[in-house]
Each structure stands twice: as structure tokens, then as C-alpha cells.
Amino acid sequence: MQRLIIFIYVIIFSTSQFVSAQEIYNNCAEAFELCPSTTFTLNNIAANSTVCPNCEDDFNFCFSGQNTIWMKFTTNDNGGDVQLDFSQIIFENIPGQGDGLQAAIIEATLPCISSSYSVISNCESNQNANFSLIVNDLPANTTYYVVVNGTMGASANAEATFDVFLHGDGVLRQPDFTIWTENLTVCAGNNVTFYATVTDCDAPSNIEWYLNGNHIASTADHFFIYSDIENGDVIEAKISCFEQCRDTLTSNPLTLTQIDFLVDAGPDKTIQQGSSTHLEGTTSELDITWTPNYNITDPNSIHPVVFPEHTTTYFLTVSNGICSITDEVTVFVDSELEIPNTFSPNGDGINDTWEILGIEAYPNCHIQVYTRWGQLVFQTSGYSKEKRWDGTSNSGRELATGTYYYVINLRDDQFDEPLKGIVSIVR
């Protein structure tokens, strides 16, 4: 007797491995989300029903709520006609089962509450070959449900695997995503702004930008500024649309042509105060301009003589008629004080403040900076590292790129008059 009990236990344990459970869309609240123009393979194998007053399967259309599964879809921004095709229907064919599927599209003003259901499509019962559910003139942005079950046979409902395909102008999605720039020919080192245009894209994601297939930026805005362009570079972008059935779009590619030519302002120089030096610029073009254009013999010569009073950075700008390219050179003037005439407070950690070399020897100095219209924008007594001018006003406002005038009173007996000059903010 003991052997027999053990044998029966083994049989029960072994057969239990083959009991299958229905998918979560057996439940109305977990209805399968149908995406338009996409084929899905579903089944109602081992499906059951929840029937109680006003429960999800408490209905009686051209069929009643037995072993049901649920699907849903949402119409697009325009609404219209919708069709759901059933194909590749394969029945389990277990003895006693039925041999047909039953289906309908329903409107549920209260989701999964049966008293709010109404059938809006044709109602199909006992279908054992390909069939379709069709409904016309659906309103926009509305969710509808599809209920499917199997017909009853001698002792059990039909169970089958089948394909479903949703289509029609009421659910058709036609998002469009393009990128563009004002000119596909760019100048070396210049900023290029790329713009994105997207239509019919609900719930858009950030735009992901790619250079030659490599991700370089993510923007919430529909534009992107980039400067490190080389000849032949390809820019593309991607965006995702729709909360349900997310769709990722890839833009058109932009192939860029870069214009580049030689512009070299030459090596930095060091001179004694009161001396002069030649700038040693090099270029292949003829349209030449040096700035600043004071204390220089000819700002349009490639090799001008300069005689700055203080350490000065000169910018060589060359144009070929389409592009302008700029390079810089600094002439350092050895003196007790070195007052640079330019700095670049752009946050890159290089030359971000107006550093006056030697000023620490005059702890009582008083420095004032004015706009060209005589408006005082910065002043300080003492000029330690912590007090250096960073291109903002004393009130903390970021000042514009341009030329400003300084007055430095060293408050020292060796200097009868304050030092005056100009300093430029370059961002």
C-alpha cells in the first residue's frame, strides 16, 4: 500500500508541470494595448471569467462573458474608421471544447464596469476562420475595449491562439520628424544651430542628437548648437512619441561641408614697456584685420608692428568672402604692473577673470570700470584674487561682450596720476 501512495504522488507532481496559466489580459484592468499597424499573437488558453453583478464579464451581447480576454486601443487626434483583423486562428481541439471565437468592440464609459458597456462594432460569434471587427466614425483620443472568448462545446469553451492587426484612419499614426540648418556649408570653428520639426507626435521625448552615429546631446528644446564640425560629418536625431505604444522616429541625416583655411596669428611675444615688435601672422587669404586697432602700424597687414603699453592680446580675423576665421596672439609687456586689455569670462576656467599682475603690491588701490557711456559698472578697493573682476557688475549682472574703460588709482606716492585704459570682455 505504501508503494502505491508514492506512485500516485509522483504522477500528480509530474502532470502539474504542464498546467498553463492565462496571460494578464485575462483581466479587463490589464487589457492588452493594441498598437496600430502591428501584428500581435494572443490566446485565450486557460482564460476564465469574472461574473457578478456589474463585474467586468457580466454582459450578454451576441455571446456571454465566458473565458474572456481583453484588449484596448485609443483613437488618434482625428478619429475615424477602425478595423481589427483576426487571422491565423489555431484551436486547441481538446475533446469537449468548442471550435469558434467570439468577439466585439465595446465602448465602456466606466472602464471594466459592465453596466457602462455598449457594443459599437459588429458582434461575431462562433467564428472558426479569419474575421474582422469594424466600427466607423469613432471620435478622437478615446479608448475602446475588445472582448474575445471561445464558444462552448460539449463540456468546455474553445481555446485558440490567433493574430490580431489593428488599422484604419481612426488609429493611423503619421508622425513626422525632420532636422535642418540654415546652411550645410559651415565655417571652421563657428557655431552651427540645428533645428528640429516634429508633427503629429503626442507626448514627445527629449531629442537625442547624433554625430556620425555617436550620441552627443539631449535637448528638450527643438534646436541644438554645436561647433566642433569637420568636413563630411553627419548629424541625425531621434525622438520618441506617444505614451502608449511608444514610437521612436529617426530624422533625416544632414551631411555637412566645412570650409577651412590657414589662419595663424603667430607666436606670442614678450617686450619691454616702451618697445615694439612685429606680429608674425600667416594666412592664405587677403582680407585681413587685426584687433584691437590701436598701438599698431597697419591693422590690415599680415605683419604689422605693435607697441602696446600693457600686455595685449591681438586677434587676427581673415575672411575668404564666405567664412571668417580668427586666431589670437598675446604680446606680453614686462613692467611692474601687467594690465591685460582683454579677458574671457565664459566659465571655461581659462582667463575667466581680469588678472592684473603685480597689483598685490598696492593693497590700498582703488579700481573703477566704466562703460563707453560713462556708467560705473564695477569698483573695488584692494584687488586680491577674491576681488578680481569676473565680467559682472557690482550688483551681480552679467555684462555684455564689448570694450570698457578702467581707472586704477594705486594710491602710491610713486604714481601721481591714476592709470587709465581699456579692457574688453570676450565671451
Locate the domains of the chain by residue range. 20-167, 176-259, 261-335, 341-427
Q: What is the pLDDT of residue 340?
A: 93
Q: What is the pLDDT of residue 343?
A: 96
Mean pLDDT per 10-residue interval, the chain, length 427 residues: 37 37 89 94 94 93 94 94 98 94 97 96 96 97 96 95 97 94 90 94 94 96 93 96 89 95 93 85 92 93 90 92 90 81 92 92 93 95 94 93 95 82 93
| pLDDT, tens digit, 9 for 90 and up, residues 165-189 | 999 999 999 899 999 999 999 988 8
Domain 20-167 falls under CATH 2.60.120.380 = yes
For residue 116, the SS3 value is helix
Which residue in this structure is represented by grid cell 546652411?
A: 183
CATH number (3.30.1360.120, 2.60.40.10, 3.40.190.10, 3.30.420.240) of 261-335 reads: 2.60.40.10
Q: What is the pLDDT of residue 16?
A: 33
Q: What angle is formed at CA 69 by the lines to CA 68 and CA 75, rounded to 5 degrees? A: 130
Fold of 341-427: Immunoglobulin-like (2.60.40)
Q: What is the pLDDT of residue 151?
A: 96
The pair phi, psi for residue 226, each rounded to 5°, is -145, 145
Residue type, 57: D
Q: Give one DSSP letter per residue of 78-91, joined into a string.
A: S-EEEEEEEEEEEE
Q: What is the pLDDT of residue 273?
A: 65
Q: Within 10 A of 95 (CB to CB), how many other CB atoms are there? A: 8
Domain 176-259 falls under CATH 3.40.50.720 = no
* Fold match flag (261-335 vs 341-427): yes
Grid cell digits, residue 151: 464558444
Question: Do the Cβ atoms of 283 and 262 come closer than 8 Å?
Answer: yes
Phi-psi region of 320 (alpha: psi -120 to 50; beta: other; left: phi over 0): alpha
Grid cell digits, residue 380: 573695488
